[in-house]
């Protein structure tokens, strides 16, 4: 056999093995993150609606408005996250979104029947950051290069991991909420109960899972810090542009 041909075969086999190893590590790391994230951070998921209705005195109409805020925000920011992923890669969008998602359960600690602003902010964050997290995860799965034929299987595996983790977490959350149903803690003039404890655990658990996500590497993504810097500069530029338009409109109205 020609020496050049033998070398090509060896190099091709090495490259294939490297891709398979990298893809396997990528899959394992991402599956581990998602399993731990949804197992620990969705403990409070069944109780957000109950808290709105029983403790915050939301009407069904107000709950509908809250849901509509999240849905509308998600639709509006689909294009933004698509542009972001095209420019910076899916990993940066996924990390930024999951980091922001960690703040959301903590907002519920500050809401009262007379102070509902944290709930409306949570509705906006729901649409904004869960859209980024979902699009980022989908594109990270599409980026797996070890065996494109099996991508459908990868999606199925991740669906099972997320579904099973959420199922177990919901059951565990119910047990914890029932066991602590009589919990009342007075702090800073506020009364905190079992739902608040679950919200606190959920928020802290989301932040604790982030190092697992940071260990997952994706070939074409930029560094997260660099992405945040670029987005910050872009946002500042847009704000300055908007300020200029506002000042121009004020001057024009004053002259008129």
**Which of 6-10, 59-63, 155-159, 162-166 has the weakest average pLDDT?**
6-10
Looking at the structure, tell me whether residues 140 and 234 fall in a common domain.
no
The CATH number of the domain holding residue 17 is 1.20.1250.20
Helix (H, G, I), strand (E, B) or coil at 185: strand
Helix H or strand E segment including 156: helix 151-179
Residue found under tokens 């849901």: 67
Check residue 9 and give its pLDDT: 35
Looking at the structure, tell me whether residues 250 and 206 fall in a common domain.
no
Query: Quick one: DSSP state of residue 181?
Result: T
Nearest to 200 by CA among 214, 189, 221, 185: 185
Check residue 68 and give its pLDDT: 94
Looking at the structure, tell me whether residues 119 and 232 fall in a common domain.
no
Enclosing domain of residue 254: 223-256
Helix H or strand E segment including 134: helix 117-142
Inform me whether the pLDDT recorded for 90 exceeds 90.
no
CA distance 16 to 169: 38
Looking at the structure, tell me whether residues 107 and 124 fall in a common domain.
yes
CA distance 94 to 138: 10
Strand partners, 185: 192
CA distance 104 to 109: 10
Structure confidence by residue, pLDDT tens digits, 19-54: 333 445 557 778 888 888 888 888 888 899 999 999
Helix H or strand E segment including 192: strand 190-192
Inform me whether the pLDDT recorded for 108 exceeds 90.
yes
Inform me whether the pLDDT recorded for 138 exceeds 90.
no
3-state helix, strand, coil in the chain (%, to 5): 80, 5, 15
Other CB atoms closer than 10 Å to residue 169's CB: what's the count?
22
Nearest to 128 by CA among 103, 161, 163: 103
Looking at the structure, tell me whether residues 162 and 248 fall in a common domain.
no
State the burial class of residue 207 (Cβ atoms within 10 Å of its Cβ: 0-12, 13-18, 19+).
middle
The total domain count for the chain is 2
Looking at the structure, tell me whether residues 251 and 168 fall in a common domain.
no
């Amino acid at each position: 056999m020609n020496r050049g041909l033998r070398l090509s075969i060896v190099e091709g086999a090495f490259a294939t093995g490297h891709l398979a190893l990298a893809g396997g590590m990528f899959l394992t790391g991402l599956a581990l993150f998602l399993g731990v994230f949804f197992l620990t951070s969705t403990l409070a998921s069944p109780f957000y609606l109950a808290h709105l209705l029983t403790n915050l005195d939301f009407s069904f109409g107000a709950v509908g408005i809250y849901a509509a805020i999240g849905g509308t925000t998600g639709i509006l920011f689909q294009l933004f996250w698509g542009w972001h992923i095209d420019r910076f890669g899916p990993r940066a969008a996924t990390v930024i979104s999951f980091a922001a998602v960690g703040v959301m359960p903590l907002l519920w600690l500050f809401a009262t029947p007379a102070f509902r602003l944290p709930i409306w902010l949570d509705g906006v964050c729901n649409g904004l950051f869960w859209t980024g997290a979902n699009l980022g995860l989908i594109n990270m799965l599409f980026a797996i290069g070890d065996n494109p034929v099996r991508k459908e299987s990868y999606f199925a595996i991740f669906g099972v991991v997320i579904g099973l983790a959420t199922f177990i977490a919901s059951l565990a959350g119910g047990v914890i909420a029932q066991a602590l149903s009589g919990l009342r803690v007075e702090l800073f003039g506020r009364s905190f109960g079992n739902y608040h404890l679950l919200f606190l655990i959920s928020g802290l658990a989301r932040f604790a899972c982030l190092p697992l996500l940071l260990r997952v590497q994706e070939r074409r993504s930029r560094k997260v810090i660099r992405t945040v810097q670029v987005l910050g500069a872009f946002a500042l530029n847009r704000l300055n542009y908007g300020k200029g338009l506002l000042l121009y409109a004020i001057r024009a109205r004053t002259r008129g």
